[in-house]
Chains A and B, each alone.
Chain A
Amino acid sequence: MSLRNRLGSARGAFATRLAAVRGRDEVDAATWERLEEALILADVGVVPSAALLTLVRERAAVEGASDGDGVVEILKEEIVGRLDGADRTLSVAGAPSVWLFVGVNGVGKTTTIGKVGRRQVAQGRRVVFAAGDTYRAAAVDQLALWAERAGATVVRGAEGADPSSVVFDAVEHAAAQGVDLVLADTAGRVHTRRNLMDELAKVRRVAGKGAGTVTETLLVLDATTGQNGLVQARQFGEAADVTGLILTKMDGSARGGIVLAVEDELGIPVKFVGVGEGLDDLVPFEPGEFVDALFE
């Protein structure tokens, strides 16, 4: 099923504004204003929106795009062009590979691990979930339930245990059992908390110290996040060497425009998009599909 269909009724504000532009026979100041509004409302950000539209204007002039449809197509191409070419695969290397999930509180890390785990199990991999969120009450129980649903096993530490050691133990356990993949949960943390970001950097280091290799550090980002998303990506990137982004809750707002800035400025590719609370509500990110879903 395409991303567009998965987003269901979430499409709206953005597409509505574009529809008004598309119908127009001429391109005038109001056209550009509508386009800018549409981008800003999708959380693309005011400065990136302006920069994007400057390019679109130039191309429209050169290519002689004289109606709304033409301009919107150029805008789509520009956005897709920016997103194209990035490596969006999740990499594995030997056994076990470790994928670390990081992000601020409430973005959906634990749920995402359940969904990613499910996909990997379906592809025939043996998967262990490492319960590295030793801070949030009942986070381990939540992860264990997802493990059960996904067909993975969960390795947990004592409550309040050092997350690094929990993840390390899980990797060792996985290696001993011949497991292919360790999906490591971490506690949500606000990126301004120096000590917690240091803790995360340590988890990242320790996770690769034993038998396993950390091949992905995935930042989970809520699609309703505004301009702070860029700051989050930068800070988590510095602390834990983020290799990719998973955009969650796209079914709610169909925005997530902040990922344009994140990919553009930080070069961190979006790898998956979460579109619901079900086990299978996770789809690979594909730029054309994403832009279509936003625009149509």
Chain B
Amino acid sequence: MFESLTSRFEGILRNIRGKGRLGPEEVEEVLEEIRVALLEADVHLGVVRTLQDRIRERAVGEELAGVLNPGQQVVKIVLEELTGVLGGETMPITFASKPPTVVLLAGLQGSGKTTAAAKLARWFKAKGRNPLLVGADLARPAAVEQLRTLAGRIDVPVFSQPGDPVAVAAAGLVEARRLGRDVLICDTAGRLAIDDDLMAEIAEIAGALEPHYTFLVLDAMTGQDAVNVAEAFHERLELDAVVLTKLDGDARGGAAISVKEVVGRPIAFASTGEALEDLEPFHPDRLASRILGMGDVETLIEKAEETFEKEQAEAAAARMLEGTFTLDDFLEQLRQIRKMGPVGDVMKMVPGMGQQLKDVETDLDERRIDRIEGIIHSMTPVERADPDVIDGSRRARIAAGSGTQVNEVSQLVRQFREMRKLMKQMGGAGSKGRGRGSKRGQKAGRRGLGGRTTPRGSVKVPKKGLALPGLGGDDPWEGLGSGEPGGLGPSGPPPLV
């Protein structure tokens, strides 16, 4: 979508280079494309108009002389305007001086309040707080049971009782004080914005709780109605922010920008998956590109870079599995890792690796990588392609050339050969078993590695058993698969690093 929007802009702006700046006609054409893009992303019609006006103001007369790519330049303006509406900062959550900090959740049926309540409790708990969940949804059958089950998984207490939701909320507050819980999160029944009785009820609940934070839980897939919903809830409750749910789908989430524009409230949290960990403080700048269909990738250039490196990595992986992986490939992998920062830090970001490093106490010394690189650099292309040709005299030459010891050279060669053999064995190991939890790993991997290796391709970083030859302790192979292919994690081909 982003590409198509950019290329559509390109078409409109094809003749602009000679003129050097955007005229009103081109801008109107561009604005029409933007209108369609925003409406398809479910941005409210009225908000689309406001945005169009602002973009028009900025774009007409925009200096494009010397700009290599006017289409991207215009996309940049649009992105900046959207980001401007959304605000750049993540909303800070502060705690009440007199606990508990009270959080009230409200929203339509099915927006995800109960799950969001449990996810928030987990988030607060991870921040070192002691939350109490209050189940005031007495309308939906089994809603309180659902809350109790979820809370059980994160070991957070739940307070609820039959009867009246307002009374439950009030008693919940007393209970939180009695138990010394410092955060209270109140789940409420889903209600329609047009249901006066239930809207009055939630206002009463708010009156009883005097919440520090009132969050509207909003489904990212909501269409044009989102604005009315937000306005109605805001009118009754004075919302503080929105929790945007189901952002793990492919809905572009235009509703969020409408809500921010119309009621002026930010998105505090976004839910990006079904697991209780899948709730994050929201980064508004990331949504702007998503609304335009760009995904979370910052720039096209970075994306191109990523694709290039992904192809490289996949080719290397293929060679690995064929057993034709060379020391040059290995060197390239080392380079890519080092580009991302200190090796130890990078390795900690790999899913499952942080724990691994803690357990094994692997010493990832930058200087040892320097030495490995030195050794490989001192080899001839023939030697790098096929280390088997390295005999005693070659070893001595390489050691002398790299300023290392002969036994270091032979150790590297031996380990590399061993690794290549293992890789080849694993070439046959299939990939299976994608469970509910698997997306998380992929996501973490994508984020952790800055999206620069293989976000989703055939090459995945294994959960276990990752080691660099020559980097480990006494036995650098200790971590690598424990000799059996299954040890390298369930999801496909072997590690690249």
Contacts and interface: CB of A to CB of B under 8 A. Distances in A.
Interface of A: 8-10, 13, 37, 40-43, 45-47, 104-108, 135-139, 141-142, 145-146, 190-196, 222, 224-229, 231-232, 249, 251-253, 255, 257-258, 277
A197 to B, nearest CB: 11
B424 interface: no
Given A191-B250, A231-B251, 20 more contacts: A10-B194, A40-B39, A43-B42, A137-B145, A137-B150, A138-B145, A138-B146, A139-B142, A195-B434, A195-B435, A222-B110, A222-B221, A227-B40, A227-B41, A227-B42, A227-B223, A228-B250, A232-B221, A251-B192, A255-B224
A95 B252 CA distance: 43
Contact of B246 (A42, A104, A227): A104
B196 to A, nearest CB: 8
A42 B139 CA distance: 28
Contacts of A232: 221
B140 interface: yes
B438 interface: yes
B249 A249 contact: no
Contact of B112 (A47, A105, A141): A105
Interface of B: 35-36, 39-42, 45, 108-112, 139-143, 145-150, 192-194, 219, 221-226, 228-229, 245-246, 248-252, 254-255, 274, 434-436, 438-439
A191 B222 contact: no
A225 B219 CA distance: 9
A110 to B, nearest CB: 8
B223 A249 contact: no
Given A141-B142, A226-B222, A252-B194, A105 B246 contact: yes
Choose among A10, A104, A105, A145 the residue with the greatest number of B CB atoms under 10 Å from its CB.
A105
A226 B254 contact: yes
Nearest to A41: B224
A196 B435 CA distance: 8
B42 A226 contact: yes
Contacts of A139: 142, 146
A9 B194 contact: yes
A45 B41 CA distance: 10
B436 A135 contact: yes
B434 to A, nearest CB: 4
Nearest to B113: A106
Contacts of B194: 8-10, 252
Contact of B219 (A10, A37, A222): A222
Contacts of B436: 135, 195-196
Nearest to A145: B141
A231 B1 CA distance: 14
A41 B49 CA distance: 13
B221 A104 contact: yes
B221 A142 contact: no
Given A46-B36, A228-B42, A252-B192, A108 B110 contact: yes
A106 B219 contact: yes
A282 B231 CA distance: 28
Given A9-B194, A224-B108, A225-B223, A190 B246 contact: yes
Given A137-B146, A195-B434, A195-B435, A224 B225 contact: yes
- The 5 closest A-B CB pairs, nearest first, are A226-B223, A106-B110, A137-B149, A226-B42, A138-B145
A73 B42 CA distance: 27
11 contacts: A46-B39, A137-B147, A141-B142, A141-B145, A190-B246, A191-B249, A224-B108, A226-B42, A228-B250, A277-B109, A277-B139
Contacts of A40: 39, 45, 224
A46 B110 contact: no
A227 B434 CA distance: 29
Given A46-B40, A104-B249, A106-B111, A255 B223 contact: yes
A199 B40 CA distance: 29
A88 B434 CA distance: 37
B419 to A, nearest CB: 31
B109 A108 contact: yes
A186 to B, nearest CB: 14
B145 A42 contact: no
Contacts of B221: 104, 222, 225-226, 228-229, 232
Contacts of A251: 192
B250 A258 contact: no
Contact of B225 (A107, A137, A192, A255): A255
B337 to A, nearest CB: 29
A190 B440 CA distance: 14
Contact of A224 (B146, B147, B222, B439): B222
A13 B246 contact: no
Contacts of A142: 140-143, 146
Nearest to B194: A9
Contacts of A258: 223
A225 B352 CA distance: 37
Given A105-B112, A249-B108, A226 B146 contact: no
B251 A226 contact: yes
A9 B249 CA distance: 31
Given A40-B45, A106-B111, A228 B251 contact: yes
A249 B251 contact: no
A255 B228 CA distance: 12
